[in-house]
Structure 1
Amino acid sequence: MKLLAIDCAATLCAACVYDAAAGQELGRSVLDLGKGHAEHLMAVIDAALKESRAGYADLGAVAVSIGPGSFTGLRVGVSAARGLALALKIPAIGVTTLEALAAQAATTFPGRTVLAVLDAGREEIHAALYDELLGLTYGPAVTSLSEAVAMATDTSAALAGTAAARIATTARRAFDIGPEAATADIAVYARLAATKGAGEKPKPLYLRGADAKPQAGFILSRQNT
């Protein structure tokens, strides 16, 4: 089965085509945009398909990063994945950024517990802890820096994600550290999705609400008629 994976969780707009049976990436396209995923995603997908010499009709599933990550980017990626899945009558499979980061770290530190941690602002950290077989044992959840440091220290975990170096510095000890990015390599999403199979339709994983909220002074009271 050929699987299309897409990721808009952070600054990257990425897609790859993956042969699940062979365990091999066939083609990819990655742009570091910062913003503007909606304007570029379909072109990125087309470029990955072209490099893989595959078409939409050849796809058996669509994988997508579901976060935590950019509020807007996640909506773009998940909407595209679900739309393609509906049009092609194939499953859409969600993969969290935290499990993808942990899986990428596990290739460097096999057989280790991995704590995936992302800076979330407001002195908060998005965290998830995975055991030696990448089974989820905690999270995904919002934690404080001190809680994340305690978790890393107590479990002697390898670290991955944008908050990894900060945790090591705060703990004043050395940790094995994998990728320190906000998202994993696109092929990792494809590989994980190929092992998951079809499930519930993916939806963005928001561990807290959006920053933008209506101002209370502009909310009109309901009028009874």
Structure 2
Amino acid sequence: MMMWRRVVVLTAASSSRTVGASSLRSSSALAFCPSNNHQSKNQHQKRRQEVTPPTTTSFLHYKQNIHERLLSTTTTARQMSFFGGSSEGIPRINKEAMTEIIDDVSSTSREESNYVIIDVRGQDEIAYTGKLNDCVETLPLPYIAQGALAMEDEDFKAEFGFDKPALDETLVFTCKAGIRSQQAGQLAKMAGYTDILDYMGGSNEWFS
């Protein structure tokens, strides 16, 4: 009887660590220390009921909820696949789509096309490769990070040489390899812009 008490005390002391581990320890202890005491068996059964794991039905329901959330995310990603992918909700476009946008802006105007194409590379980088097109504006990423898109319209034009994008225009960002353009898109989103595209190939792809 003394041996039985020691096992129960050790099991109860260990149960505060993890429920699963205490269940295994209780089962093992009782298996190796049988007793004919009916009251002890009832206590053991009660203890096992308290640590019973979730039923199969509840576990399947839990897995189904996870699957539905993943499916919803995947569906959103598939909807973006036409643009070539997305970064935190910002659609990314390929070279073909970028070519169409540039052709649209250059053949009409910024006002008619409603696109503002912005290269966020540094001036020296652009001088080395040349601009993607004459209709592409230059606004290096550090200036965007410092709040350029929150400037007053007049101050913005005086500083950067082109009209500040309106909130209802579509911003198309490009850089060297699609990394800084992603960051620019996120900053523009924080500044209140909602229609944003990211050319993921950048000048590396454009001039290749």
Shorter-chain TM-score: what band? under 0.3
Q: Larger Rg: 1 or 2?
A: 2
More strand by share: 1
Q: Which one scores higher on RCO, CA 8 angstroms, separation ≥ 6?
A: 1
More helix by share: 2
TM-score scaled to structure 1, two decimals? 0.25
